[in-house]
Amino acid sequence: MSAPNEYSVVVVGARPVGLSAALQLGVADVDVLVLEHRGAQSTHPRAHVVNARTMELFRSWGIAGAVCAAGLPPDLATGFGWLTSMSADAFATLDYVDNHTAELHSPERLCSCAQDRVESALYARISEIDGVTVQFGSEVVALTEYENGAMLALRHNDIDLYVRARYVIGADGANSTLRGLTGVELSRSNPLGRRMNIYFHADLRAVSRSRPYMLWFIYAAATQGIFIMLDPKRWVYSIELDSQPDGPWDLNHDHCRELIRAAVGVEDLELDIISVLPWQVDMAVASRFRSGPVFLAGDAAHRFPPMGGFGMNSGIQDAHNLAWKLSAVLDGTAGASLLDTYDAERRPVADYNATQSMDNARRQQTIRGNAD
C-alpha cells in the first residue's frame, strides 16, 4: 500500500451540511478533503426552508445573495394556504413570515431555496478556495481511529485508496456509514407514517396566480397532499403513502400525474415527473456526536420530520459550530478540550428540534384526520 494522503480534516458527505463544514474550514485556511459517494451533485430538491440564522452564516461566507437569487422571490414566500385544489380559492391561510419582526433581530430573512440550489451555491464558493478538494464517487468502506487521527479506506472509481486525517466529520446523511463504523447508537421514534415527494416541472403561473404560499395544503376527495413551490415552474407534491391503495412504495409516474392533475384542478395539465422520493415520518438522534477524532453532523447525527424546516438548518448550524472549533484547535488558538463543547452544545438543540418537529407532524396528522 502506498503512503496515504494526509489532510487536517476529511469531511464525508457533500450535501449542504458537509459542504458548509468544508467552506467554514476552508475560509480559515484549513486543508480539507470532501468525500462523496455520489457521482455528482444532487438533483432532487429535498429541503427548501433556509432560516434567518442559516442565511446569516451564508452572508458571512459570501453566498447569501446567490441563495436568495436562486430561491423564491420574497413576495411569493410569506405564508401557507389550504385549498380543495390549487385552482380554487383558499379556505384558510397562515402568514408565516413576519418581516417587520425579523428586521428587529437579524440583517437576514428566511428564504425558500431548494436544497439542490443551496448545494450549487456552496459548491461554487468552495471552488474558489484552494485548500478544499471535493472528490465525487468516493465511498468510505472502513475506518481506523488513532489517538491523533484516523485512517479511512475508500473506494474511488473501483480503486481502493486510503487517506489519513487529524479529524473526520461524518455528514453522510441519515444512513450514515461513518456513524455505523464508529458504533454510535441511534435513538429512533416510532414512525408516524410514510410519504412520497414527487418532484415535477409544470408552468403553474396561471393557476397559482402569484399567491404567496410556500406550501399549498390540498384537501380533495381524489387526493390529499402538499405542494411545495420551488419556483412557479418547479414543484414538489408530497403525499401520504399509507392512504394510497395501489402499492404505496411503487406509485408509477402515470399515477403520480393523475394525482397532481387532481390536486391542481386541471385535467389536461402538462407536466414532467423528474423524480420521486419515498421517506418515513419519524425522528432519530444519535447518543453522542463524537467518537474520538470523528464527529457527526446533520442527518448523520439527527433526523427530524420536515414539518418546521429544522433539518437542513440544524445541520448547517452543526457544521458551523464544529468547523470554527476545529480550525481554532488546529491553528493552536484553542486547546483540544474546546471540541468537547460541540456535543454539549449541539445535541440539546437536536433533542429540542426533534421534539418540536414531531409535535408539528402529529398536529398535521390530526388536521388531516379531522378533514377526512
CA–CA separation, 6 vs 33, rounded Å?
A: 9
Looking at the structure, do residues 47 and 185 belong to the same domain, yes or no?
A: yes
Query: Is the Cα dihedral 75, 105, 359, 45 positive or negative?
Result: positive
pLDDT above 60 (res 159): yes
Which pLDDT belongs to residue 35?
97
Residue 131 lies in a domain: yes
Looking at the structure, do residues 213 and 248 belong to the same domain, yes or no?
A: yes
Which pLDDT belongs to residue 3?
67
Q: Which range marks the domain in which residue 36 is found?
A: 5-71+113-189+283-371
Looking at the structure, do residues 235 and 356 belong to the same domain, yes or no?
A: no
pLDDT above 80 (res 128): yes
Looking at the structure, do residues 213 and 344 belong to the same domain, yes or no?
A: no
Looking at the structure, do residues 277 and 289 belong to the same domain, yes or no?
A: no
Cell of 247: 402499492
Please write the tens of the pLDDT for every residue from 212-270. Answer: 999 999 999 899 999 999 988 999 999 988 755 454 455 789 999 999 999 999 999 99
Looking at the structure, do residues 225 and 125 belong to the same domain, yes or no?
A: no
pLDDT above 80 (res 363): no
The residue out of 240, 257, 281 marking a domain boundary is: 281
The residue out of 256, 281, 306 marking a domain boundary is: 281
What is the domain-level CATH number for residue 257? 3.30.9.10
Which DSSP state fits 245?
A: S
The residue out of 228, 252, 281 marking a domain boundary is: 281
Looking at the structure, do residues 269 and 291 belong to the same domain, yes or no?
A: no
Residue 359 lies in a domain: yes
Looking at the structure, do residues 276 and 287 belong to the same domain, yes or no?
A: no
71: how many CB neighbours lie within 10 A of its CB? 23
Please give the C-alpha separations between residue 113 and each of 270, 305, 309, in angstroms, as whole numbers.
Answer: 24, 18, 12
Q: What angle do CA 95, 224, 303 make, to 5 degrees?
A: 70
Residue 101 lies in a domain: no
Looking at the structure, do residues 209 and 61 belong to the same domain, yes or no?
A: no
Residue 93 lies in a domain: no
Query: Is the Cα dihedral 267, 232, 203, 198 positive or negative?
Result: negative
Residue 239 lies in a domain: yes
Looking at the structure, do residues 227 and 150 belong to the same domain, yes or no?
A: no
Task: Tell me the pLDDT band of 97, cut-offs 50, 70 and 90.
Answer: low
Which pLDDT belongs to residue 16?
97
The pTM assigned to this predicted structure is: 0.92
Looking at the structure, do residues 142 and 234 belong to the same domain, yes or no?
A: no
Domains identified in the chain, total number: 2
Task: Tell me the pLDDT band of 189, cut-offs 50, 70 and 90.
Answer: confident
Task: Tell me the pLDDT band of 39, cut-offs 50, 70 and 90.
Answer: confident
Q: Which residue has the higher pLDDT, 171 or 79?
A: 171
Residues 6+ apart with CB under 8 A from 79: 93, 94, 95, 96, 97, 212, 213, 214
pLDDT above 60 (res 67): yes
Percent of the chain topping pLDDT 90: 72
Work out the average pLDDT over 154-176. 94
Which pLDDT belongs to residue 104?
76
Looking at the structure, do residues 135 and 179 belong to the same domain, yes or no?
A: yes
Asked if 22 and 34 touch (Cβ cutoff 8 Å), the reply is yes
Which pLDDT belongs to residue 106?
87
Average pLDDT over the chain, rounded to an integer: 91
What is the domain-level CATH number for residue 346? 3.50.50.60
Report CA dihedral (310, 133, 4, 148) to the nearest 10 degrees. Answer: -50
CA–CA separation, 246 vs 208, rounded Å?
A: 29
Pairing of strands 272-281, 193-201: antiparallel
Residues 6+ apart with CB under 8 A from 126: 19, 22, 23, 26, 34, 132, 134
Task: Tell me the pLDDT band of 187, cut-offs 50, 70 and 90.
Answer: confident
Residue 81 lies in a domain: no
Residues 6+ apart with CB under 8 A from 103: none
Using a 10 angstrom Cβ sphere, with 0-12 exposed, 13-18 middle and 19 or more buried, the burial of residue 3 is exposed
Range scoring the smallest mean pLDDT among 19-33, 76-90, 95-109:
95-109
Closest to 317 measured CA to CA, from 350, 284, 290, 351: 350
Residue 316 lies in a domain: yes
